Amino acid sequence: MRKTPKEGGRYIPAIRLGNRGPLHNVVARYKKSSSPVPSLDNTYAYQHGFTTMGSFQPSVSDIRPIPPEIGNLTNLTVLWICRYNLSGGIPPEIGKLGNLTELNLGYNNLTGGLPSEVGGLIKLQKLNLNGNRLSGPIPPNLGNLTSLTVLNLGRNRLNGSIPAALAGMSSLLDLELYENNLTGPVPVELANLLQLTVMGLQFNQLSGGIPPEFVSLTQLTALALQNNQLSGPIPAALGNMVSLTNLFLWNNSLSGSIPPELGSTTRLTSIFLNNNSLSGPIPPTLGQLTNLQYLVLERNNISGSIPAELGALTNLLTLSLGNNQLSGPIPPQLAQLTSLNELYLLNNNLSGPIPPQLGNLADLSALLLSQNHLTGPVPPELANPLGLKTLTLFRNNLTGTISSGFLARFGSDNVLPGNTGLSVTSTSSPPANSPSSTIPPRSTSPPRQTRLSSPPRPETLPRRPNPPAPRSES
């Protein structure tokens, strides 16, 4: 459908198209113009007056590719065309939209490079091009966009290094460059983005260390650097990032010990350091993080004992310490984690008895204690949590008797192998629950933050937690 401007001409200062619902709103204020609006192949709607709102539903073929004539809409302030299967490149003529404050072309099939002309849109406040197939480097002159608060270029095919010039975006709150092919170091200059609240650089090929200068980012709530090739230590300075709530560093090559200073970052709710080469002990100071819900340290070379201080983390939902070199007993203080859903201690060198107090964790759904050196009997209290679906005890040195009902509930393959001192006694009644007798497959795709929305549920190894979500998502 095409509407022609009345005499005198009008243009729309805002275009918003999205796939939420059967109709797609095109909502705007209108100003008078001396020239008519170009047709743009039906990608605009014309509305009379200020008090009504118009809706229309263009066909997909009407709006792909983006026509270069869009550069004629020089008073346009908002251009938002999301999830419309746009194809082709972003025309450089878009750089003529000098009044544009928001540009959102997310989740289309746009290809080619990001035009450097976008760096001249000095009034731009939000730039969302995520979920396309854009390639090539990030134009350094985006650093000229001093009014920009959101830059989301995630889920594209951009390559090259992150330009240090991006540090010129002095108003930036949200930096999202995740899931590209970016290489090189994390620019230390990003520490100058003092208003930044979210840094999402995950799932790239970034190398080098984590800049300790990031301590200056006192407003940062989410630091997502997972699944890169970062090396070196975790800077102790991160302990001074007082606003940090989510720390995602998994799947890198980080080494050294976990900084005790992290215990000062008391707003943390999620720590994911798994799949690195970290060594040394677990700092007892982590017991000060009383807001923590996820502590995932598995698949490192962490040694020493499990600090009893972790028993103070009463909001913890997942404690995952498996596949390390931890030794000593399982602290009975872990039974104070009354919110705990998942406890993963498998494949360490833990010894001593299984604390029967773990049976008091009413919300427990998974308890993995296999492949350790645990001794003594299997506490019958472990069957108390009604929601416990996965219990693994194999390859320990457990002794004594267990009931056939217990074995039927949790599976003989999860309990008996390697525990040659265990014997089974018969029970007359069937178990309350009877899940599969084998270990369920491990989760490989935890949810993606994107506002860091819902944190992942790792079974033994979280693979892809959500990145922080864009502030202005389609």
Every domain of the chain and the residues it spans: 1-123, 281-418
- Name the token pair of 416: 């008996």
| Residue 430 DSSP label | -
User: Under a CB-based contact definition with an 8 Å cutoff, are residues 319 and 293 in contact?
Assistant: no
Give the per-residue pLDDT at 164.
98
Q: Do 232 and 253 meet the contact criterion of CB atoms below 8 Å apart?
A: no
User: What letter does residue 414 receive in the DSSP assignment?
Assistant: H
What is the C-alpha end-to-end distance of the chain, expressed in Å?
A: 24
User: Given this model, what pLDDT does residue 84 score?
Assistant: 87
Question: Tell me, what's the pLDDT at 239?
Answer: 94
Strand 133-136 and strand 174-176: the pairing is: unpaired
Residue at token pair 């102790």: 236
Looking at residue 427, what is its pLDDT? Answer: 67
> For residue 6, how many other CB atoms are within 10 A of its CB?
10
The CATH number of the structural domain formed by 281-418 is: 3.80.10.10
pLDDT at 27: 27
Fold identical between 1-123 and 281-418?
A: yes
pLDDT at 386: 94
What top-level class would CATH report for the domain 1-123? alpha beta
Q: What is the pTM (predicted TM-score) of this model?
A: 0.82
Q: Which residues pair with 17 in a beta bridge?
A: 81
Give yes or no for a contact between 82 and 60, defined as CB atoms under 8 angstroms apart. no
Closest CA to 264 of 249, 283, 297, 286: 286
Tokens of 264: 């000062």
Instruction: Report the amino acid identity of residue 97.
Output: L
The whole-number pLDDT of residue 65 equals: 86
**Structural tokens at position 199:** 């840094």
Dihedral sign from CA coordinates of 140, 145, 149, 151: negative
Q: Tell me the two tokens of residue 463.
A: 């693979």
Q: Which residues, 6+ apart, have CB-to-CB distance to 420 below 8 Å?
A: none
Q: Report the 10 Å Cβ neighbour count for 259.
A: 19
Mean pLDDT by 10 residues, the chain (474 residues): 34 48 28 34 28 34 76 93 92 96 96 97 98 98 98 98 98 98 98 98 98 96 98 96 97 98 97 98 98 98 98 98 98 97 98 97 98 97 96 98 94 96 74 41 35 35 37 37
Residues 345/321, Cβ–Cβ less than 8 Å: yes
